Chain A
Amino acid sequence: MNQYQVSPAEKKFIGSHILVAILALAVGSLFGPLQAFEHAGWDFYQYLKPFIKSYYQGLTVHGVLNALVWTTFFIMGFLTFLVIFGLKRQLKNPTLNKVGFWMMVVGVVAAAIPILTNQATVLFTFYPPLKANWAFYVGLTLVVVGSWVEGWGLFMTYAAWRKENPNERTPFVAFASLITAALWQICTLGVAVEILTMLLPLSLGLIDGVDPQLARTYFWFTGHPLVYFWLLPAYISWYAFLPRQASNSKMFSDSLARLAFWIFLVLSTPLGFHHQYVDPGVPPAWKFIHSMLTFGVFFPSMMTAFTVIASLEMGARKSGGKGAFGWIGKLNWSDPSVAAQLLAGILFFFGGMGGLTNASYNVNLVLHNTAFIPGHFHLTVATAVTLSFMGISYWLVPYLTGRKLWQPKWATIQAWVWFVGMIIFSNSMHVLGLLGAPRRVPLGLAPYVPAEWNSRLFQVGLGGAILFVSGAIYLLVMLKTATNKERVESEVIVPVADSLQDVAQTPEWLDRWAPWLYGTLALIVVVYGPQLVDQIANIALTSPGFRVW
């Protein structure tokens, strides 16, 4: 089969994204185990004092580099690849994409300087009136705007393709990538307004105070859809790559996959108040409405689960898989990319259940800001997303560099070690949260820890140690692959699955942007508008900034 060839220059451009992403993960993840050890009472920070002043400086590095830099760079690189490959077309305006990429890089550096000099120990949520050095906010702004610019480059490429192919269905991987990029453009408006109207002016001394409640509302306008920006690229891989990789199968339902992505676009943004259930300044009625919509956005994830599992099962049965669950053994577990993504998917099931629990309005009273929350999102962003991206990199990096994957067996082991470490780590964090342990506290040193938490705190440390091993293997495999003298024999085949249905049969309304975009904006206006207007009309810029670290 002749696949479309992505040009060497474009491969290099995509590869630069992946490189920055992995560097960020390397540094960011280093602190994860250190934090976990701190919970277990093994204090390493005392030895790090010359470089890292506190648990919280490390936690800021961990949150920013992992949750913001690793994800955003990997995603922008992967989406760029998917659009080019899916549309079988070069970028319309490569310079624009390059400008976006370099803005992001400069932004990361600008934010890193104050973080590493302990002038921005505000964690990755940077809630005011914590006041960081202005360069931190400038850096974040550049990362966001840079990612917008790259997104515009992708939209222009799509527009050009559409002109050339007026009657064709957009190929699924490009289609889903464009929706993900659009979602990002819409939702990041919240944090952009927060930074530009409050945080940056405060840090520059242009205003004396901010309104912390309104700032939270802006922040979470972005904060929830952010998790879909992380998740959807993993979903694209599960829908469109995993079936072929795991069981040489096809995508079960092209139309429903597309419908799921549209629902994600429409529903991801207007539910940010589910992060603010226990905020004093938001009326319960709005919190309740957002909680109901949160149940709604769970629906397309259920559709995803069906299509992905059905696609896998179809292929596994063809190659002789039997029994209700026996076919799972027939999947191609020896391929590290498959093992990583399947294990990511399995843990995501539990992440989803935890997510539903968090989302359940008053149940949140028990869980809010407890260790349950990091327990939850290490199953989602740190496993479903991160382990899937690792799995993707196991074929994508050889594809981009022309170098063979170094020791696939070690790559497979890496995935399993992550899986085991995360089960231990995350389970104990969930339990600690239910027992009342707060998050963002080095619990090994906290004065109020009752003895019955101790065995769980130890398990957090143990899980962290296992995860450290897995992370180290991943970096080793990547380093050895990027410098591998062994080249791939021929072009690496991009393992994208065909659709079971004839894509030409996919209804045309699933390929039209305007109705869905208007629907998205309309829903945002209805469920966010009144509160935004109210909170802005009653704004009180009375909270001065503080540096309390």
Chain B
Amino acid sequence: MSTQKMHIDRYERNWMIVSAVLLVLFASAVSVAAFGMGIQVPAPEQRVNPNTVATDPNSPWSNPGLREVAPGKYDAYILAHAIPNWEYLPKEISVPVGSTVSFYVTSPDVQHGFKVQNTNANFMVIPGQVSKLTVTFDEPGTYNYICTEYCGSGHGVMYGAITVTP
């Protein structure tokens, strides 16, 4: 019984080969972008206590904002919170064009999102975790960062902005 062979039509075999090749091509393109060009997704950065992260004086998020760590290089510590009024702290930051900014974002309450428009920075903000991605701003202008995950009634108005000055 178990020696019965499976019948596969010729066209069907060809189709399966083409499908497999296509999928391998897609997978390769993604791999090249990830490892060749370095377009990477967030990695575990740091864990924090959501109950104290916004208040503990040793926590950078007790004093959120921009820190220049080297010429043209910044760390932006951003707190995303629903309570009391669905906003990011700080609401606005400003950097000169050509700056490289690493965003470190966390939440003291519920989950949020963080998407910097017109860049590849887009990630979940999860209480207890720190999310980090780095962006280089080569064009002057205003880049909104908006909340992309439901975080309560005010989710739809939660945003901030980076001004990239010429």
Question: Which residue of the partner chain, among B19, B124, B159, contacts A280 with CB atoms under 8 Å?
Answer: B124
Cβ distance B6 to chain A, nearest Cβ, rounded Å: 5
Which of B56-64, B94-102, B108-116 lies at the interface? Answer: B108-116
B148/A212 in contact, CB under 8 A: no
B126/A280 in contact, CB under 8 A: yes
A452 within 8 A of B: no
B124/A278 in contact, CB under 8 A: yes
Given contacts A255-B6, A280-B131, A288-B34, contact A362 B39 (CB under 8 A): yes
* Residue of A with least CB distance to B8: A256
A544 to chain B: which residues have CB within 8 Å?
Answer: 51
Question: Which residue of the partner chain, among A129, A438, A507, contacts B113 with CB atoms under 8 Å?
Answer: A438
B15 to chain A: which residues have CB within 8 Å?
Answer: 302-303, 306
| Chain A 195-222 interface residues, beta-carbon cutoff 8 Å to B | 211-213, 216
A255 to chain B: which residues have CB within 8 Å?
Answer: 6-8
A540 within 8 A of B: yes
Max count, chain A CB within 10 A of own CB: residue among B19, B41, B146, B149: B41
B148/A130 in contact, CB under 8 A: no
* Residue of B with least CB distance to A130: B110
B124/A361 in contact, CB under 8 A: no
Question: Which residue of the partner chain, among B7, B27, B49, contacts A501 with CB atoms under 8 Å?
Answer: B7
B159/A448 in contact, CB under 8 A: yes
Max count, chain B CB within 10 A of own CB: residue among A280, A281, A369, A440: A280
B130/A546 in contact, CB under 8 A: no
A508/B4 in contact, CB under 8 A: yes
Given contacts A363-B30, A365-B39, A548-B82, contact A213 B148 (CB under 8 A): no
Which of A173-181, A292-300, A520-528 lies at the interface? Answer: A292-300
B131 to chain A: which residues have CB within 8 Å?
Answer: 278, 280
Cβ distance A94 to chain B, nearest Cβ, rounded Å: 33
Cβ distance B160 to chain A, nearest Cβ, rounded Å: 10
0/1 per residue, B21-59, Cβ < 8 Å to A?
001101101110110000111111101011100000000
Alpha-carbon gap, A452 to B93, bound state (A): 25
A513 within 8 A of B: no
A319 within 8 A of B: no
Alpha-carbon gap, A441 to B118, bound state (A): 19
A364 within 8 A of B: yes
Given contacts A277-B41, A369-B148, contact A361 B127 (CB under 8 A): no
0/1 per residue, A364-385, Cβ < 8 Å to B?
1110111000000000000000
Alpha-carbon gap, A54 to B131, bound state (A): 30
B110/A446 in contact, CB under 8 A: no
A213/B7 in contact, CB under 8 A: no
| Chain A 270-306 interface residues, beta-carbon cutoff 8 Å to B | 276-284, 287-288, 291-292, 295-296, 298-299, 302-303, 306
Max count, chain B CB within 10 A of own CB: residue among A291, A306, A505: A306
A213/B128 in contact, CB under 8 A: yes
A211 to chain B: which residues have CB within 8 Å?
Answer: 128
A54/B49 in contact, CB under 8 A: no
A436/B4 in contact, CB under 8 A: no
B122/A366 in contact, CB under 8 A: yes
A448/B146 in contact, CB under 8 A: yes
Given contacts A279-B124, A439-B148, contact A445 B156 (CB under 8 A): yes
Cβ distance A207 to chain B, nearest Cβ, rounded Å: 14
* Residue of B with least CB distance to A125: B150
Given contacts A129-B110, A299-B19, A542-B49, contact A436 B130 (CB under 8 A): no
Cβ distance B49 to chain A, nearest Cβ, rounded Å: 5
Alpha-carbon gap, A538 to B50, bound state (A): 15
B118 to chain A: which residues have CB within 8 Å?
Answer: 436
B122/A368 in contact, CB under 8 A: yes
| Chain A 225-284 interface residues, beta-carbon cutoff 8 Å to B | 252-253, 255-256, 259, 276-284
Cβ distance B128 to chain A, nearest Cβ, rounded Å: 6
B115/A303 in contact, CB under 8 A: no
| Chain B 114-166 interface residues, beta-carbon cutoff 8 Å to A | 115, 117-118, 120-132, 144, 146-157, 159
Cβ distance B37 to chain A, nearest Cβ, rounded Å: 9
A323 within 8 A of B: no
Question: Which residue of the partner chain, among A280, A446, A448, contacts B45 with CB atoms under 8 Å?
Answer: A280
A295/B155 in contact, CB under 8 A: no
A37 within 8 A of B: no
Known contacts A291-B27, A440-B148; can you find 16 more A-B pairs with CB under 8 A? A54-B153, A127-B150, A130-B152, A213-B129, A216-B126, A278-B131, A280-B44, A284-B41, A287-B41, A295-B27, A362-B34, A366-B122, A369-B115, A440-B155, A507-B4, A546-B110
Interface residues of B (CB under 8 A from A): 1-2, 4-9, 11-12, 15-16, 19-20, 23-24, 26-27, 29-31, 33-34, 39-45, 47, 49-51, 82-83, 109-111, 113, 115, 117-118, 120-132, 144, 146-157, 159
Closest 4 CB pairs of A and B: A548-B152, A369-B148, A302-B19, A280-B131
- Can you spell out 25 A-B residue pairs with CB atoms less than 8 angstroms apart? A56-B150, A130-B150, A212-B129, A252-B9, A278-B124, A279-B126, A281-B44, A298-B23, A299-B19, A303-B16, A306-B16, A362-B33, A362-B41, A362-B120, A365-B120, A368-B123, A368-B124, A438-B147, A440-B149, A501-B7, A508-B2, A542-B50, A543-B127, A548-B110, A548-B154
